[in-house]
Amino acid sequence: MIELPRRSGPDVASLGRSRPPPPPGPGGRRLRNVLARLRDFPRFLEGLHREYGDIVSYNLLGRRFVSVCHPQLIREVLVKQQRSFHKTVGYKDMRPMKNPTIASSDGPDHHRRRKLFQPSFGKRGMTAYSEIMVERTHAMRERWRDGQVIDGAAEMHKLAMSVAITAFFGRDMEVDPKIGQATVDGCIWDFTLGFLPFTPLLRLLPLPGNLRAKRAWKAMDEVIYEVIRRARDGSQDRSDLISLLVRAEDEEGIDHAFTDDEVRDEGFVLLMVGHDTSSSAMTFCLDYLSRNPGVRERLETEIDAAVGTRRIEPGDYESLPYAAAVFQEVLRQSPPIYFLGREAIDDCVIGGYLIPRGTVVQTYFRLPHHNPDYFDRPGDFSPERWCDHATARRMRQSCFPFGSGARMCIAWKFATMEGVFAMASIVQRWRIEAVSEGPTEVDSTGVYRVKAELPIRVTERTR
């Protein structure tokens, strides 16, 4: 259980014309902070917040950072004063993207992209994606054998990649999952270079990581541009996400459609962001279910009553509210995206403290997700807390697994349905049990994920 000291900044109204103070925090310690951030970023931030309160500033690589962990302060940054913040340079300098994307754009350009994206996650698209989720999960679970010990992390990783490739590029595109994985690995490699000194020079060197990334990006270019070509062919009725983006139009006739190069870049972003977070969330689903037999048994009961022994279908989603509650509780306990960075483009005041222009503000979600002020017995894995609609509505004000505001993850429903269908299909046939009694090791370098293998024993269920 994580408890924070209750501290608050000065009252803005009482400041008058005086300049607000900066947030509290340690002075100097740049190198020490870099090492602590690389070792365990959540632990680093939680230590600062325990010492300094809900808003804290620190230095890192010559820049000033501010971390906020109170729900009101998080909404202040992401919702109420969102116009004072833009995406950080890390998002804008991502390769191999050549144009702004839905993940890196700001202001009117982001609004245009989000509006063009919206139909891709409408009824037609989600129906097609759901069929792929159910189909691929069923195929995966049928490969398992009674009493087998599987690597849950590897299985969910492959499942998420298979779903992403098929949903994004279409059933008629036989894309080797290794190309998709190499593309994601290349993007992560280049993103990591962006945090190092002399990034432009490092990107030019014939480093093995650079060479692998370029080969993967070239192969993925061929895939995406072929999908675009087929989508431009009016004789084909396609429902893959890339094709829906190609054909997306602003119904109001104000904003222009995506160019081919813009669609190409959005495809890279979707593959990188969507696959990694989904595989992490589904891996944690297996971990928590295997260690909480009471939750697992209630989920088995729901699936048996709603589906029985027949194959799960996309239409079963609404009949699985407890499965959705399990997924929501997993995201509360172990959100793959556990913080978001925003750069202040104007001087502004958050929590009574001055945030100068150029400061990187990090909205840190794990602390409010585990704070007893907002969640009863926060250390317990209790999906039941999400089953009461009134209670769930209140708790969502302090839970941010998909962000908040105008930049809330546009694919949140895709990710939720994927997690629910994966759990339901697996649990329908297999009882999953943890092999290791020790705590699961976590890697928080980028996405919050299981660090290595996740051994899970699967036993065929008898009804």
| Average pLDDT score over residue span 339-349 | 96
pLDDT in tens, 14-47: 444 578 999 999 987 677 787 888 789 999 999 9
Whole-angstrom Cα distance, residue 441 to residue 454? 9
Instruction: Using DSSP bridges, classify how beta strands 442-443 and 449-450 pair: parallel, antiparallel or unpaired.
Output: antiparallel
pLDDT at site 188: 84
pLDDT at site 12: 43
Whole-angstrom Cα distance, residue 351 to residue 72? 9
Which of 243, 244, 218, 219 has its CA nearest to residue 229? 243
pLDDT in tens, 385-429: 999 999 999 999 999 999 999 999 999 999 999 999 999 999 999
**pLDDT for residue 207 is more than 90:** yes
Q: Which residues contact 7 (CB under 8 A, 6 or more apart)?
A: 52, 53, 54
Q: Identify the band that residue 2 occupies on the pLDDT scale cut at 50, 70 and 90.
A: very low
Average model confidence (pLDDT) for the chain?
91
Whole-angstrom Cα distance, residue 408 to residue 415? 13
pLDDT in tens, 446-461: 889 999 899 999 999 9
Q: Which residues contact 251 (CB under 8 A, 6 or more apart)?
A: none
pLDDT at site 13: 44
Q: What is the pTM of this model?
A: 0.91
| Average pLDDT score over residue span 115-131 | 94
Sheet holding 339-344, edge to edge: 55-60, 63-68, 360-364, 339-344, 85-87
Residue 315 structure tokens: 């239409």
Whole-angstrom Cα distance, residue 183 to residue 179? 6
Q: Which residues contact 304 (CB under 8 A, 6 or more apart)?
A: 428, 463
pLDDT at site 39: 85
| Average pLDDT score over residue span 273-302 | 95
Phi, psi of 177 (to 5 degrees): -55, -25
pLDDT in tens, 5-18: 344 444 444 444 57
Instruction: Using DSSP bridges, classify how beta strands 149-151 and 455-460 pair: parallel, antiparallel or unpaired.
Output: antiparallel
pLDDT at site 142: 97
Whole-angstrom Cα distance, residue 385 to residue 399? 13
Running DSSP on this structure, what letter comes out for residue 236? Answer: -
- On whether the CB atoms of residues 380 and 372 are closer than 8 A, the answer is no
Q: Which residues contact 141 (CB under 8 A, 6 or more apart)?
A: 425, 426, 429, 430
Q: What is the Cα gyration radius of the chain?
A: 23
Residue 289 structure tokens: 């279910």
| Three-class secondary structure assignment of 38-91 | HHCHHHHHHHHHHHHCCEEEEEECCEEEEEECCHHHHHHHHHHCHHHEEECHHH
pLDDT at site 17: 59
Phi, psi of 299 (to 5 degrees): -65, -40
**pLDDT for residue 196 is more than 80:** no
| Average pLDDT score over residue span 190-207 | 86
